[in-house]
Homo-oligomer: A and B are copies of this chain.
Amino acid sequence: MSELRCGPFADQWVISAPERGRRPSDYRREEEERSKEEDCPFCPGNEQMTPPEIYRVTGEDRRWRVRVVPNKFPALQDQPRLDREAVADVFVRVNGVGSHEVVIDSPEHRKEIPDLPLEQIELIIDTYVLRLRALMEKSAHRYVLLFKNHGKEAGASLAHPHSQIIAAPIVPPAVEARLQAAKAYYKKKRRCPFCDILVEEIRCGERIIEEADGYVLLAPYDSRFPFEMAIYPRDHAHDFTAITAEQRRGLARVLKRTLSRLKCLLEDPPYNLILQTALNSREETTAGQKVLSSSSHWRIEIIPRLTRMAGFEWGSGLHINPTPPEEAARYLREVAITG
């Protein structure tokens, strides 16, 4: 069973997941991506290769369009209760309560978001909303993170396009740090810091890639990575799962164009996509919930994996970005999107 561990500093948690189990010899040869359709557990006809299905969207032809299944090697999983234990007064351990699901984007082994019709992307987004809502029902799930790894260098071990959703029993350190800073900003200025960023970005314009369908796509001022992008709803909204049908259709269009820009400009680079949304605030006071909902703003972050982390980045938390976001935005704005 996996567990969460923390030293005397509450700022660093890790998930120790031994069933994903690796001895020294396991690291010597890199796993190959399974890329042939006949071996692919996410292709139609191979449904029995995944753990029992959690959810599916079925088409008029009775075939599935999107499937959700448990991750075969879950980082966290459902357990009877949350056990928190101090170890010798310096360490803390929490059992690995949570959930780890896989959303199979479509039956097509070789079609990424840029290649899929808008209707299919809308089905994927609908599925995201439904699964996030379901996972947020459990009070043990403090935060639910949705992400997509594209390409081996971005951590994808299966080629068939898919996303993952992990529900964790703690607010993860990076999320917590951002929430606290956003709350402090809000308490001082009574404004959402992300809304303030959007106002300034739109006024300045240099880092805007597009503004359409109710969303703003930009290269963040403090981009850590070359060609990093973020999609924000134009108007304040803290909870992704509250989006309307019209907003979903808009998001499908923006997402398709965004990932097409990336694919065309950088020849289908590896990337990570991350949805940052509201945490599970049901145990907060009404006033606490008000501050949280006023100071956070859901967004999708897209990180192309073009550079490598080295000792400086690990030791300092400071990233060195060789491509200024103003230049990245210009390239991404001007690239011709092709089929």
- Residues in chain A within 8 A of chain B (CB atoms): 4-18, 20-24, 27-28, 75, 87-91, 143, 145, 147-149, 153-156, 164, 166, 168, 172-175, 177-178, 181-182, 185, 193, 196-197, 200, 203-204, 220-224, 226-227, 265-267, 269, 272-276, 301, 303, 306-312, 314-325, 327, 331
> In the complex, given contacts A14-B222, A18-B327, A155-B308, what are 14 additional A-B residue pairs having Cβ atoms less than 8 angstroms apart?
A5-B222, A6-B222, A9-B182, A10-B181, A11-B177, A12-B222, A14-B224, A15-B319, A16-B324, A87-B221, A88-B200, A164-B311, A164-B312, A172-B317
Most chain B Cβ neighbours within 10 Å, of A11, A223, A309 = A309
CA distance A315 to B181 in the complex (A): 16
- Report if A322-B20 is in contact (Cβ < 8 Å); known contacts: A88-B204, A308-B153, A317-B175: yes
CB distance from A15 to the nearest CB of B (A): 5
Q: List 17 A-B contacts (CB under 8 A).
A: A6-B222, A8-B185, A8-B197, A11-B177, A14-B223, A18-B322, A18-B327, A20-B322, A23-B323, A75-B320, A90-B193, A90-B200, A155-B309, A166-B312, A166-B316, A175-B315, A275-B315
- Report if A318-B172 is in contact (Cβ < 8 Å); known contacts: A7-B197, A7-B220, A204-B88: yes
Residue of B nearest to A223 (CB): B14
Partner of A15, one of B172, B185, B196, B320: B320
Query: Which residues on B sit within 8 Å (CB–CB) of A322?
Result: 17-18, 20-22
Residue of B nearest to A11 (CB): B177
CA distance A20 to B321 in the complex (A): 9
Query: Which residues on B sit within 8 Å (CB–CB) of A275?
Result: 315
Query: Which residues on B sit within 8 Å (CB–CB) of A303?
Result: 311, 314
Q: Are A316 and B91 in contact, with the CB atoms below 8 A?
A: no
Query: Which residues on B sit within 8 Å (CB–CB) of A318?
Result: 4, 13-15, 168, 172-174
Query: Which residues on B sit within 8 Å (CB–CB) of A7?
Result: 197, 220-222
CB distance from A122 to the nearest CB of B (A): 22
CA distance A223 to B22 in the complex (A): 14
Q: Are B11 and A274 in contact, with the CB atoms below 8 A?
A: no
